[in-house]
Amino acid sequence: MAKENVQMDDGAAGKRVFFRRRRGCPLEGTPDTEINYKNLKLIARFISEGGRILPSRITSVSAKRQRQVKKQIKIARNLALLPFVAK
Amino acid sequence: MPLYESTFIARQDISTQEVENLTKQFSQIVEDNGGKVLKKEYWGLRNLAYPIRKNRKGHYVMLALDTPPAVLKEMERNLKIHDDILRNVSIRVEEIQDGPSFMMNNRGDYQESRYSAANSNDEE
């Protein structure tokens, strides 16, 4: 499948922030308490330049962690700690 | 009793002293009705990632609570009515972390200059 080669041409500016890692989940081993809406340093790694949540096929996050991160990003957005849309 | 973290944002125009009073007021509601306030944190006057009701900054206060849900609901109701409170979010947590939360150390800052409403007019 051409999936891996075409991966980076996804169009919208800002989706290319991170290289696609071939290795495992970057959040492997972080305790659940660290995936927290308050922990902006960690959470902000998973949003794009435009403020959009990055898909796990780009960040290689495991599915479970992706769900946790997604939830915390959404909470942080509501608290104006992260933007919904950024220029 | 379930554990909650409730965070609210107060308008930028009010003074820190008034924020303190607000915090006390809402803690009082919880304690009077049988709940406990485990932690009170003031994150300071932070830039908001987007303007809320024309405010670009806000006072953030976080409370960690151990209360019955009905009391939480009552507190939220009061938060909603109050004019000085812009937003509040309460979530249920499994456990409350000891010590200061991420916001009090550096973890809570990342690229503030990029994502703050107060700076957005300077770009382009």
From the list B49, B114, B120, the residue facing A80 with the nearest CB is: B49
Assign residue B103 a region: left if phi > 0, alpha if psi is -120 to 50, beta otherwise? alpha
**Which range is least confidently modeled, A16-30, A54-68, A72-86?**
A16-30
Instruction: Report the gap between the CA of B113 and the closest CA in chain A (Å).
Output: 12
Contacts of B87 in chain A (CB under 8 A): 78-80
> How much of chain B exceeds pLDDT 70, in percent?
85
Contacts of A42 in chain B (CB under 8 A): 107
B36 phi/psi in degrees, rounded to 5: -130, 140
**Alpha carbon distance B55, A77 (integer Å):** 16
Average pLDDT over chain A, rounded to an integer: 79
pLDDT above 80 for B113: no
Instruction: Report the gap between the CA of A41 and the closest CA in chain B (Å).
Output: 5
* ipTM of the complex as predicted: 0.83
pLDDT in tens, B19-72: 999 999 999 999 999 999 999 999 999 999 999 999 999 999 999 999 999 999
Query: Is pLDDT larger for residue A42 or for residue A17?
Result: A42
Q: Could you tell me the strand order of the sheet in which B55-66 lies?
A: B36-52, B55-66, B3-11, B85-93
How many residues are there in chain B? 124
CB atoms closer than 10 angstroms to residue B12 = 18
- Tell me whether A17 touches chain B (CB under 8 Å): no
Residue of B45, B60, B104, B115 to mutate for A, most A C-beta atoms under 10 A: B115
pLDDT above 60 for A31: yes
Q: Where are the beta strands (DSSP E) in A10-66?
A: none
Instruction: Report the gap between the CA of A1 and the closest CA in chain B (Å).
Output: 38
What's the whole-number mean pLDDT along residues B72-84? Answer: 93
**Alpha carbon distance B96, B3 (integer Å):** 7
Instruction: Classify residue A47 by its DSSP letter.
Output: B
What's the whole-number mean pLDDT along residues A29-41? Answer: 86
What's the whole-number mean pLDDT along residues A8-34? Answer: 63
**What per-residue confidence (pLDDT) applies to B97?**
84
**Sign (positive or negative) of CA dihedral A54, B115, B109, B87:** negative
**Alpha carbon distance B89, B76 (integer Å):** 9
From the list B89, B115, B124, the residue facing A82 with the nearest CB is: B115
Confidence of residue A27 (pLDDT cuts 50, 70, 90): confident
> How much of chain B exceeds pLDDT 90, in percent?
70
> Do B102 and A40 count as a contact with CB atoms less than 8 A apart?
yes
Confidence of residue B82 (pLDDT cuts 50, 70, 90): very high
What's the whole-number mean pLDDT along residues A4-28? Answer: 56
**Alpha carbon distance A46, A51 (integer Å):** 9
